[in-house]
Structure formats: structure tokens, C-alpha cells
């Protein structure tokens, strides 16, 4: 089975969020299922630097403004197809944002080019390699099906929704510059509230839709979570499957992680906790050390933490945070750290530090208002760092709440709370502190978390079956 994955980012080459982790992990996970996946990426500087010995497999005289080519090769354990288009992608820093922190003005054309090339390779192949399925990720690959129509059709198509909040919308006046068929500017095409939406195009056009957890698949069909596309999702209900993400269990392995002091049990976490306190400048304390590793946005619910935090601190707990994003949230957490010795904050992102935070903490807080899947709670499970999560999306699907019944059966792995409010988070933190004081219960909770399956095996089988079904229909 030959599958072309079309993505705007892919770990470890370029990453801003969970989409990159999924795009980076799927090819290896699918190999065991007999799926040969190649990944099409924009030629950002980091990708171009990694793919230095590529061979040209396609050429375009005019790819949205200038000539371009597609280079094929291997990098970071991936079979890559890279769009060498300096006029679109040779820009430093974040793949979507300019130096001013705003979206690049030509982002609609930049990622339309990604979709255009993906469709072209689906129809014409890449150096003799012809995919049977095109698997696009999020709005950046949304126009693939529109372009396939213009090219006379091609392989089967799958679109995965990693976060429906990002719709890839722009004004209708860009129809020509995006090479779109004006006749498709309809409710059945890419029209979205009077404008153009790349995601809407993909949702309407792809033969199969997936999203990154079963609960999020159900949530997408409601006005609360559908971001204006809930009607589309209800219309395409039969095409939609929720396939839970996994994590890279080699990169996130507490027994072999080079960023930490390796361990395989609760006892082994103690050294990492002591080292983390020293690194973050935290004193000893009697309560649980909690961590947050997150983008600082409204979606992630971090504005609720300052209101709820006194409960944790009053029980002798601590907080160590790593993240960046909303300036107001950054300021609020900096202020907390300045006025309380039991709060430590690092603004920015540091991959190695994120591993040390999750290895050394007792619990990880993920108070998201909505979370398609979430990976940090799964990193927490893998490292015996008890997740405290909002009851939504993939958080609901990956954490077994420490209810009286689950504790009695000995199966609980974390704490869920609902609704996602400061009051409910206060209650969850109080429950956490009580569980932490009961050494026997806490030890069982940590052991359950570390034993919980968080890898890609089951999900890879589901994707492989989906591809096989689509290819068979063709």
C-alpha cells in the first residue's frame, strides 16, 4: 500500500504542535502494517538543510508565483518529498508566522501550493512512485480534492482534522490567485460564510475523514465544538472516523530518555524530581509537584490556573511551567512566580526541558477547554506523571478518572474534571492532593499510568484498514 502524506509540518524536522508529531510518527508505525508512506513537506530552511542529497522528481514552471521543483530523499528516518520553492518557503522561524508574530500575508497561496503539488503527485507520481491514497492533514492540505477535480481525478483521499478551529479561511477575492474553480464556490464546495475555506473544501471533497480521537469526532458535530462547521460534519458523518493518536514510545521512554535520569518505577522518579526542583529553583515541599507544558492559549484553559492554584499551594504543592503564547497569560504566570517561591515559570519552548519536567513532576495539568487528542497527557502517563485533565476530546479517551469505582477496581490513571471551569479545576487539584497523601493509592495510580498503552500499534492498524478499504473501492 502506497500512501502520500501531505503535511505542513513533521517532527523532528519542523514542529509547532501535535500535527507534526503525528506526521512524523505515522510512517514508521504504518511500516509494520505493510504501508509505504512518503511525506510531502514544504521546503522550509530546516527541511532543506536535512534533505541535502535529494533527487528532482517533479518540476513546475510556475508554482504560485515562481518556478519550483520537488526533491525526493531520506532524512530523519523519513521518506521525504520536499517542495523546493524558495519564494514560498525559504523563510526563517515559525512556518506560519512572520517576524512580527502575525500570519504571513500569502499563507493561503503558500499552502495552496502544498495542496497543488500533492494533487499533482497523486495524478502523475514522483519518480515512478505512484500513491494509491493521498492523506492530507488539516486545512493546509484542504484544497487537494479541489485540484484533483481540475486534473481529472486521482487516488483515493483522506483528510485528518487535527484541530477544526483552524479553517484556513480567506476572502472570496482570492479565488483566482488560489487557482480555484469559481463554479465550486458553493455550499457543497469551498464556500464558507461568504469566504473561502481550505478546510471546508477538504471536508466536503475527501472520500474519508478522520480525526484524532473518538470523542472529538462526536464533539465536532455539535455547535459548541464544530467552529461553524458542525453542519458539514453532520452531513459527512458516515465518512468520519475517530482514530486516537499515539506517541513515539522510543522518543518518550523513561527507561532510555537521554534528557533525564532513566527510571522504570515510582521509586526511580524521585531523583528526577529532586533534579527538577534544583533546576527550576523550587524548594522542598510536602505536596505534589505539578507541571504544565503547553502553548499558552485560551483553548488550553491556562487562564483558569491562577484562580485555582491556591488550592494546590495551600496543600503544600508546587507548579513548574514551560510554555509561551498569549502575552497576558505569560505576564500572569511570571507574576505568580515572582510572588511565590513554589511557582517556577520558563517562557519559551525547550524539548529537553519538557522531558525533564514531565519526568520529574508528580502530576501534569491539562485543563483544556477543547482538545482534539492531546499528547502531553500521554507523555505524562508514559512517565508516571498523573494527568489532571478537562473532560473533553482525546483527554476523555486516554485518561481513566480516579472515581471511587475506578479506584476500587485499581484501574484509575488520572483525574478528569468537568465542566472546564476554575471551580472544577480547584476541586480536581484538591482531589489530587488527597490522593498524593495516600502513598499506597498514589503508587498504584502511578503504576497504572506507566502501564497504560499510549503507542501507535492499534491506531496504525486502523489507518491501514482505512487505506486498504479505500484502495479496494478504487
- The answer to whether 326 and 319 have CB atoms below 8 angstroms apart is no
pLDDT per residue as tens, the chain (474 positions) = 999 999 999 999 999 888 998 999 999 999 999 999 999 999 999 999 999 889 999 999 999 999 999 999 999 999 999 999 999 999 988 999 999 989 999 999 999 999 999 999 999 999 999 999 999 999 999 999 999 999 999 999 999 999 999 999 999 999 999 999 999 999 999 999 999 999 999 999 999 999 999 999 999 999 999 999 999 999 999 999 999 999 989 989 999 999 999 999 998 999 999 999 999 999 999 999 999 999 999 999 999 999 999 999 999 999 999 999 999 999 999 999 999 999 999 999 899 999 999 999 999 999 999 999 999 999 999 999 999 999 999 999 999 999 999 999 999 999 999 999 999 999 999 999 999 999 999 999 999 999 999 999 999 999 999 999 999 987
Domain ranges of the chain: 2-246+457-473, 266-451
- The answer to whether 26 and 79 have CB atoms below 8 angstroms apart is no
Task: Provide the 3-class DSSP secondary structure of residue 39.
Answer: strand
* pLDDT of amino acid 131: 98
Q: Which CATH architecture has domain 266-451?
A: 3-Layer(aba) Sandwich (3.40)
* pLDDT of amino acid 18: 85
pTM across the whole model: 0.93
* pLDDT of amino acid 360: 98
Peptide bond into 52 cis (omega under 30): no
CATH domain 2-246+457-473 topology? Rossmann fold (3.40.50)
Task: Provide the 3-class DSSP secondary structure of residue 71.
Answer: strand
Residue 300 known to bind ligand: no
Element (H, E) at 429: helix 422-437
Whole-angstrom distance, CA of residue 278 vs CA of residue 39:
41
Same CATH fold, 266-451 and 2-246+457-473?
yes
* Cell 524548594 found at: 283
DSSP E strands in 261-374: the ranges are: 289-296, 318-325, 343-347, 363-366
Question: CB within 8 A of 216, min separation 6: which ones?
Answer: 225, 242, 370, 371, 372, 373, 393, 394
Task: Provide the 3-class DSSP secondary structure of residue 219.
Answer: helix
Amino acid at each position: 500500500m502506497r500512501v502520500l502524506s501531505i503535511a505542513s509540518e513533521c517532527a523532528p524536522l519542523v514542529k509547532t504542535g501535535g500535527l507534526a508529531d503525528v506526521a512524523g510518527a505515522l510512517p514508521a508505525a504504518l511500516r509494520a502494517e505493510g504501508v509505504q508512506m512518503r511525506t510531502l513537506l514544504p521546503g522550509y530552511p530546516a527541511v532543506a538543510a536535512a534533505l541535502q542529497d535529494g533527487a528532482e522528481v517533479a518540476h513546475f514552471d510556475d508554482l504560485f508565483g515562481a518556478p519550483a521543483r520537488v526533491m525526493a530523499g531520506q532524512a530523519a528516518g523519513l521518506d521525504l518529498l520536499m517542495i523546493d520553492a524558495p519564494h514560498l518557503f525559504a523563510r526563517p522561524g515559525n512556518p506560519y508566522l512572520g517576524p512580527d508574530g502575525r500570519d504571513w500575508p500569502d499563507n493561503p497561496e503558500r499552502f495552496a501550493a502544498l495542496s497543488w503539488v500533492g494533487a499533482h503527485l497523486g495524478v502523475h507520481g514522483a519518480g515512478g512512485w505512484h500513491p494509491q491514497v493521498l492523506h492530507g492533514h488539516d486545512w493546509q492540505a484542504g484544497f487537494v480534492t479541489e485540484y484533483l477535480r481540475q486534473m481529472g481525478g486521482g487516488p483515493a483521499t483522506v483528510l485528518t482534522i487535527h484541530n477544526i478551529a483552524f479553517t484556513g479561511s480567506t476572502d472570496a477575492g482570492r479565488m483566482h490567485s488560489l487557482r480555484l474553480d469559481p463554479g465550486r464556490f458553493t455550499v457543497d464546495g469551498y464556500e464558507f460564510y461568504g469566504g473561502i475555506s481550505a478546510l471546508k473544501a477538504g471536508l466536503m471533497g475527501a472520500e474519508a475523514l478522520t480525526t484524532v480521537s473518538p470523542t472529538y469526532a462526536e464533539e465536532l458535530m455539535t455547535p459548541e465544538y464544530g467552529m461553524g462547521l458542525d453542519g458539514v460534519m453532520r452531513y459527512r458523518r458516515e465518512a468520519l472516523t475517530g482514530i486516537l493518536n499515539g506517541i513515539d514510545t522510543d522518543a518518550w521512554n523513561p527507561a532510555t530518555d537521554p534528557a533525564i535520569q532513566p527510571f522504570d518505577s515510582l521509586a526511580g522518579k524521585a531523583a528526577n524530581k529532586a533534579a527538577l526542583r534544583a533546576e527550576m529553583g523550587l524548594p522542598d515541599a510536602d505536596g505534589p509537584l505539578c507541571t504544565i507544558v503547553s502553548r499558552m492559549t485560551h483553548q488550553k484553559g491556562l487562564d483558569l490556573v491562577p484562580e485555582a492554584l491556591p488550592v494546590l499551594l495551600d496543600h503544600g504543592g508546587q507548579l513548574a511551567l514551560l510554555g509561551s503564547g498569549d502575552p497576558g497569560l505569560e505576564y500572569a504566570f511570571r507574576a505568580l512566580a515572582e510572588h511565590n517561591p513554589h511557582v517556577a515559570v520558563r517562557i519559551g519552548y525547550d524539548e529537553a526541558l519538557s522531558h525533564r519536567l514531565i519526568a520529574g513532576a508528580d502530576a501534569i495539568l491539562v485543563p483544556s477547554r477543547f482538545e482534539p487528542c492531546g499528547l502531553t497527557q500521554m507523555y505524562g502517563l508514559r512517565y508516571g506523571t498523573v494527568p489532571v485533565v478537562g473532560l473533553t476530546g482525546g483527554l476523555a479517551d486516554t485518561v481513566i478518572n480516579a472515581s471511587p469505582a475506578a479506584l476500587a477496581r485499581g484501574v484509575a490513571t488520572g483525574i478528569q474534571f468537568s465542566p472546564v471551569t476554575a471551580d472544577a479545576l480547584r476541586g480536581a487539584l484538591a482531589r489530587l492532593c488527597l490522593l498524593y497523601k495516600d502513598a499506597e493509592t498514589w503508587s498504584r495510580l502511578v503504576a497504572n499510568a506507566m502501564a497504560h498503552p499510549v503507542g501507535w500499534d492499534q491506531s496504525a492498524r486502523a489507518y491501514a484498514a482505512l487505506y486498504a478499504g479505500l484502495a479496494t473501492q478504487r
